[in-house]
Amino acid sequence: MDTSAQSGAGSAPAAVPATSTTDGRPGISGLTPEKLEEWVVAAGQPAYRARQIESWVWAKGATGFEQLLNVPATLRQSLHETFVATTLANTEVRPADRGLTEKALHLLGDGQAIESVLMRYPAAGGRRARATVCVSSQVGCAVGCPFCATGELGFGRDLDAAEIVDQVRFWGRRLAEDGAHVTNVVFMGMGEPLLNLECVIAAAGALTDPRRFGLGARHITVSTSGVLPGIERLVELRPPWTLAVSLHAARPALRDVLVPLNRRYPIAAVVAAASAYARATGRRVSYEYVLIDGTNDTLADADAVVELLAGRGLLHVNLIPMNPVAHTPWQPSPPERVAAFSARLEGAGVPTTVRRNRGDEIGAACGQLAAERAGEPAPEAVQRRRDRLTRQRAAALTGST
Ligand code: SAH
Ligand code: SF4
């Protein structure tokens, strides 16, 4: 029995930390305009000072309260004693894709590491240039998908709203140097966003508030491995986001191995909830399918996807050859099998796109930089992991055919 994956299958996340830093100061970007104004007034200052602070934090990209030049020194001091101007204590950036993709390893106030990625898409074919930021929502992840570097790290803690937003502010400042700005935010970095939903909702609220980051609400994508109660909550709230569901296998026995949360929330129920979200919002659901050589990439697998998704409303399938990380015994599917899989779905009327994993050379599948920083596990542990995954895969394939 695979105890490590079992414990990861939907285990409850630890409590959300009250603050972002070890010294107890939360990030200023986690405050709503109302809360900031309350704090300013309680500090004995006129309410309009809140607008000034806001403009520094959001429009001018301040990273230290000493930069708030038109704010009185006493207020700057109180701000410094109460908040941090950014929750990212240190950031290391690595470029890839001739600079079109950049990946950041951020250190948080408590020494934990997370990753975010900037992907620039130059203007092409009448489409305006875009800049997409991929953010982390947790340190590590409890779900434990065996092909994922973050899953291999295990769960650390939830990020608070400021820690999520500050990843986007970081790239916003960098883009501003070139006269560009963030156009899209995707929650596809480290962690399972729907297991930290309240903070994700608060962060998305800050990012899409015209008085704060000012991103279009329709330019947010949230990816989930299938946290059913989280999707149901989104059906009620109806934010106009794009919902992405990480499918990876339609056959239950195989999905139990590739996405261990499937044991708790079976994929058929997840697809039904995602279709309800599409109906409630009019937004097309994306299904992500990582193709693993000889594991989930046969035509029978494609037919199972068709059976699961055909007629399920507005949806689209993205096929992504696996990025070989996370000490798996597995490899990406070869191009001809990817093409055949894609053609089978398309032929059955399921809209499908083959995606390239951008920034492979720096490990765009999030978690790899943090995993490198955590250090290489012992060779025996890696071998045990590979053996266990080989056994589980074999059992799933024989059991389900
Ligand atoms: N936890 C959420 C969001 C973060 S993972 C989720 O699973 O949806 C974002 C996407 O990266 C997911 O679709 C995930 O399956 C994919 N991913 C993880 N490891 C990968 C790898 N080695 N190769 C390709 N994609 C990977
Ligand atoms: Fe977690 Fe997503 Fe990685 Fe699975 S793919 S372990 S849900 S981050």
Q: Look at residue 163 in the predicted model and tell me its pLDDT.
A: 98
Mean pLDDT of 138-151: 95
- 306 vs 299: CA distance, rounded Å: 10
Q: Is the pLDDT of residue 175 over 90?
A: yes
Note if 141 is an active site residue. Answer: no
Top-confidence residue, 371 or 37? 37
What would the mean pLDDT of 338-356 be, rounded to a whole number?
A: 95
Atom of ligand 2 nearest to the CA of 223: 2
- Ligand 1 atom 21: residue of nearest CA: 323
pLDDT recorded at residue 399: 75
Contacts of 337 (CB under 8 A, 6+ apart): 291, 293, 297
115 lines ligand 1 (CB under 6 A): no
Give the pLDDT mean for 253-279.
98
With a pLDDT cut of 90, the percent of the chain lying above it is 77
**What integer pLDDT is reported at residue 358 of this predicted model?**
58
Residue in 139, 158, 192, 290 to alter for ligand 2 test, most ligand atoms within 8 A of Cβ:
192
Between the alpha carbon of residue 344 and those of residues 53, 301, 357, the distances in Å are 55, 10, 21
Query: 13 CA distance to ligand 1 centroid (A)?
Result: 19
CA of 245, nearest ligand number: 1
What's the rounded mean pLDDT across residues 287-316?
97
Q: For the segment 194-208, what is each residue's pLDDT rounded down to a tens digit?
A: 999 999 999 999 999
Quick one: average pLDDT of 121-148? 94
pLDDT at 267: 98
145 touches ligand 2 (CB under 6 Å): yes
Superfamily the domain 89-398 falls into: Aldolase class I (3.20.20.70)
HEC profile of 94-106: EEEHHHCEEEEEE
Residue 1 scores a pLDDT above 50: no
Q: What pLDDT shows up at residue 140? A: 96
Q: Starting from the CA of residue 321, give the closest ligand.
A: 1
- Predicted local confidence at residue 320, as pLDDT: 93
Select which of 115, 152, 163, 192 is catalytic.
115
CB atoms within 10 A of CB 336: 8
Q: Do residues 151 and 142 lie in contact, with contact meaning Cβ atoms separated by under 8 Å?
A: no
Q: What is the pLDDT of residues 234-262, one digit of tens each?
A: 999 999 999 999 999 999 999 999 999 99
**Average of pLDDT values for 335-347?**
97
Answer whether residue 22 shows pLDDT above 70: no
- Residue 328 CA, closest ligand 1 atom number: 22
Q: Is the minimum distance from the CB of 320 to ligand 1 under 6 angstroms?
A: yes
Indicate whether residue 195 lines ligand 1 (CB < 6 A). Answer: no
Looking at the CA of 319, name the nearest ligand: 1
More confidently predicted of 236 and 376: 236
Cβ–ligand 2 distance for 150 under 6 Å, the answer: yes
Cβ of 250 less than 6 Å from ligand 1:
no
Per-residue pLDDT tens over the stretch 61-71: 999 999 999 99
Burial of 50 (0-12, 13-18, 19+ CB in 10 A): buried
Query: Which position has the higher pLDDT, 3 or 56?
Result: 56
Q: Which ligand is nearest to the CA of 186?
A: 1
Counting ligands in written order, the one closest to the CA of 363 is: 1
- Which is the closest atom of ligand 1 to the Cα of 245? 8
Asked if residue 378 has pLDDT above 90, the reply is: no
Residues 84-88: what's their mean pLDDT?
96
- Report the pLDDT value the prediction gives residue 365, as an integer from 0 to 100: 60
Question: Torsion over CA of 307, 9, 166 and 25, rounded to 10 degrees?
Answer: 160
- Average pLDDT of the chain is 90
- Ligand 1 neighbour 138 (Cβ under 6 A): no
Is the CB of 365 within 6 Å of ligand 2?
no
**What pLDDT, on a 0 to 100 scale, did the predictor assign at position 96?**
80
Please state the atom number of ligand 1 nearest to the C-alpha of residue 149: 19
Cβ of residue 290 lying under 6 Å from some atom of ligand 1:
yes
Q: What is the pLDDT of residue 346?
A: 97
Distance from the alpha carbon of residue 288 to the mean position of ligand 1, in angstroms:
8
Is any ligand 1 atom within 6 A of the Cβ of residue 275? no
- Please give the CATH topology (third level) of the domain spanning 1-86: DNA polymerase; domain 1 (1.10.150)
Give the 3-state secondary structure of the chain.
CCHHHHHHCCCCCCCCCCCCCCCCCCEHHHCCHHHHHHHHHHCCCCCHHHHHHHHHHHHCCCCCHHHCCCCCHHHHHHHHHHCECCCEEEEEEEEEHHHCEEEEEEEECCCCEEEEEEEEECCECCECCEEEEECCCEEECCCCCCCCHHHHHCEEEECCHHHHHHHHHHHHHHHHCCCCCCCEEEECCCCCHHHCHHHHHHHHHHHHCCCCCCCCHHHEEEEECCCHHHHHHHHHHCCCCEEEEECCCCCHHHHHHHCHHHHCCCHHHHHHHHHHHHHHHCCCEEEEEEEECCCCCCHHHHHHHHHHHCCCCCEEEEEEECCCCCCCCCCECCHHHHHHHHHHHHHCCCCEEECCCCCHHHCCCCCHHHHHHHCCCCHHHHHHHHHHHHHHHHHHHHHCC
Mark whether 115 is an active-site residue.
Answer: yes
Q: What is the pLDDT of residues 357-369, one digit of tens each?
A: 655 544 456 777 8
CA 227–ligand 2 middle distance (angstroms): 11
Q: Is 7 in the pocket of ligand 1 (CB under 6 A)?
A: no
Domain ranges for the chain, please list them: 1-86, 89-398
Percent of the chain with pLDDT over 70: 92
pLDDT at res. 31: 97
Of 117, 139, 150, 318, the one to substitute when testing ligand 2's pocket (max ligand atoms within 8 A of C-beta) is 150
Q: Does residue 275 register a pLDDT over 80?
A: yes
